[in-house]
Amino acid sequence: MKKIRVGIIGTGGISHCHMSGYKQLEAEGRAEIVACCDIDGAKLNAYCDKYGVAKRYTDCREMMKNEQLDCVSVCTWNSAHKDCTIAALEGGANVICEKPMAMNAKEAEEMLAAAKKAGKLLQVGFVRRFGEDADMVKKLVDDGVFGDIYYAKATYLRQNGCPGGWFGDRAFSGGGPLIDLGVHVIDLTRYLAGSPKPVSAYGVTYDNLGPDRANSGKKAWDIEVKPGEHPYNVEDICVAMVRFDNGFTLSVEASFNLNIKGDIGDVQLFGTKAGTSMNDMNVLTTKDGKFITFTPEGEHSFRFGPAFVEEIKGFVDASEGLVPCKAPAEDGVWLMKIIDAIYESAKTGKSVEIK
């Protein structure tokens, strides 16, 4: 079997998780990690030394011209997703681009158009779709356990959790916790609810707590933060309501900074027959006119490392036509439309239509 030739663009924090997926495929004889690219040459060299990658580039177009890559991961900051993804697609590769797909829906649509024109796969890094917890709930949904799901809550609240650096700089990130954290749980909820079409959104953002807390020196993430390099100009918290064409309503809350006791990440689904919270995976339903709860057998938690390995395997399998793509670019575009509408609504104070 021909080994797929892999490239990685952006060799920061999350690229290590992509690498662990490709390393597994390399060990199985399915892939060869040929080249990596980062605009920061020192970072690139350290990364390539660590993983034994010989070909190193600081310009992704040059990498694509020279290396005949089959599969490329785009792991740059958000403002570079569009250009790097289009360069990789035009250079003949299938691409997985980290979340959020882009800075806004317009960019995401350009990326989707480039994938169609090149006849290549474009997957979005919605890693939460690849968790064992998501598989468990999806099966319950598909088995009809919940009946019709008409309401859900997507929550990702951090007490003091801006990763710092470019994540707080709108020009690089496109926004704050909504586009960074909210995107994960909004996508997961919509996916579990059967991917209905969004029709409108109403949102509010606050920035009351701001840069002091964001720059309080907490370092929980593996990104480089150089003092003074980036302003902090994104929201602290966003709350929103999104309506869908089948009557389904989603309530969203996502924060970097909030006076809350601890961090909370959860997806709650409420249907005509049952409801659940993915935090404890306890399903509440009724039997013989009485409320009962049960917890399905199996792994209930979201395990970060294994989910990335599954995601990369799913991407390569889909690139080779072995399985359907589980996180297609079309869903990335819908997510960007939802995020654009929420930010627009927060500015205008009015509900915004999504088309």
Ligand X SMILES: NC(=O)c1ccc[n+]([C@@H]2O[C@H](COP(=O)([O-])OP(=O)(O)OC[C@H]3O[C@@H](n4cnc5c(N)ncnc54)[C@H](O)[C@@H]3O)[C@@H](O)[C@H]2O)c1
- Catalog residues that contact ligand X under the rule CB under 6 A: 9-15, 37-40, 43, 60, 75-78, 80, 84, 98-99, 125, 127, 180, 223
Distance of closest approach, residue 319 Cβ to ligand X, in angstroms? 19
Nearer residue to ligand X within complex by CB, 67 or 98:
98
Distance of closest approach, residue 82 Cβ to ligand X, in angstroms? 10
Distance of closest approach, residue 77 Cβ to ligand X, in angstroms? 5
Nearer residue to ligand X within complex by CB, 169 or 236:
169
Distance of closest approach, residue 88 Cβ to ligand X, in angstroms? 11
Quote the CA–CA distance of 243 and 191 in Å, as a whole number: 15
Asked if 96 contacts 312 with a C-beta cutoff of 8 angstroms, the reply is: yes
Taking alpha carbons only, the member of 141, 145, 252, 132 closest to residue 195 is: 141
Distance of closest approach, residue 285 Cβ to ligand X, in angstroms? 31
Distance of closest approach, residue 215 Cβ to ligand X, in angstroms? 16
The CB-nearest residue to ligand X is 12
Distance of closest approach, residue 61 Cβ to ligand X, in angstroms? 10
Quote the CA–CA distance of 319 and 94 in Å, as a whole number: 6
Nearer residue to ligand X within complex by CB, 181 or 258:
181
Label each residue of the chain as H, E or C. Answer: CCCEEEEEECCCCCHHHHHHHHHHHHHCCCEEEEEEECCCHHHHHHHHHHHCCCEEECCHHHHHHHHCCCEEEECCCHHHHHHHHHHHHHCCCEEEEECCCCCCHHHHHHHHHHHHHHCCCEEEECHHHHCHHHHHHHHHHHCCCCCCEEEEEEEEECCECCCCHHHHCHHHHCCCHHHHHHHHHHHHHHHHCCCCCEEEEEEEEECCCHHHHHCCCCCCCCCCCCCCCCCCCCCCEEEEEEEECCCCEEEEEEECECCCCCCEEEEEEEECCEEEECCCCEEEEEECCEEEEECCCCCCCCCHHHHHHHHHHHHHHHHCCCCCCCCEHHHHHHHHHHHHHHHHHHHHCCCEECC
Nearer residue to ligand X within complex by CB, 39 or 241:
39
Nearer residue to ligand X within complex by CB, 181 or 352:
181
Looking up tokens 């790097």, which residue turns up? 84
Nearer residue to ligand X within complex by CB, 24 or 45:
45
Distance of closest approach, residue 254 Cβ to ligand X, in angstroms? 13
Nearer residue to ligand X within complex by CB, 109 or 282:
109
Nearer residue to ligand X within complex by CB, 17 or 274:
17
